[in-house]
């Protein structure tokens, strides 16, 4: 069983990742949380926790960890400075540690639109920060998968997505299906080195990733 550190575990998507990983026969989830107040939820869930803040020292969180899922985000209500500290600098710090600790696979949750951010977008500074973090991961030498999701919803997932290196048009996707895609991407030999976009669709998640590898 491989230990997976979930960075951003206390967020809406992070909690779903932790819940899904808890029932996995291949992985043991470890939730990285910012403070003690967040520990109770995961203890009740039966998931290990480690205290770490992306704006501080998080090196202890990487001890005896095999893989990483990054689902952290500064949130839509924060300003440019906070976004850069979490979504860019915090992500880059975790990537450096992943390299130092020889992490087998780093799976990054990103967003559609980061590859070529719209200068008129209200989320420009967020997309720009995510774009820089994505590029940093690509150049790090750490085995990775970057999953750029469409607009996230709290709808019930069905395990079906549409995936491509670049999708046309807009699209949404339930957080549950995003979490399943991130977990499917954890396999060391499955989707390594891939950067792809996802929205809700008609194809089984693992098949969708497999088809991307064959393109």
- DSSP string covering 70-96, please? E-----TTS-HHHHIIIIIIIHHHHHH
Please give the radius of gyration of the chain, using alpha carbons only, rounded to the nearest integer: 16
Q: Which of 141, 139, 149 is nearest to 170 (CA)?
A: 149
126 noted as active-site residue = yes
Secondary structure letter of residue 97 according to DSSP = H
Provide the greatest CA pair distance for the chain. 46
Give Cα 92 distance to the centre of its chain: 13
| 8 Å CB contact between 145 and 194 | yes
Q: Given 27, 101, 106, 126, which residue is catalytic?
A: 126
Give one word for 54, left, alpha or beta, with left for phi > 0 and alpha for psi -120 to 50: alpha
Active site residues: 126
């Amino acid at each position: 069983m491989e230990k997976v550190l979930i960075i951003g575990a206390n967020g809406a998507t992070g909690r779903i990742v932790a819940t899904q990983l808890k029932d996995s026969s291949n992985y043991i989830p470890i939730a990285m949380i910012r403070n003690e107040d967040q520990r109770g939820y995961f203890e009740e869930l039966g998931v290990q926790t480690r205290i770490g803040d992306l704006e501080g020292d998080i090196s202890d969180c990487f001890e005896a960890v095999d893989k990483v899922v990054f689902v952290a985000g500064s949130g839509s209500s924060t300003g440019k400075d906070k976004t850069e500290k979490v979504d860019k600098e915090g992500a880059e710090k975790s990537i450096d540690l992943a390299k130092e600790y020889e992490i087998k696979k780093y799976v990054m949750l990103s967003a559609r639109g980061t590859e070529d951010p719209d200068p008129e977008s209200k989320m420009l500074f967020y997309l720009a920060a995510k774009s820089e973090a994505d590029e940093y991961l690509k150049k790090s030498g750490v085995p990775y998968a970057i999953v750029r999701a469409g607009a996230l919803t709290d709808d019930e997932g069905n395990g079906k997505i549409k995936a491509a290196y670049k999708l046309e048009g807009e699209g949404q996707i339930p957080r549950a299906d995003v979490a399943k895609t991130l977990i499917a991407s954890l396999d060391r030999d499955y989707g390594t080195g891939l950067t792809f976009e996802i929205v809700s669709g008609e194809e089984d998640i693992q098949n969708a990733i497999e088809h991307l590898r064959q393109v």
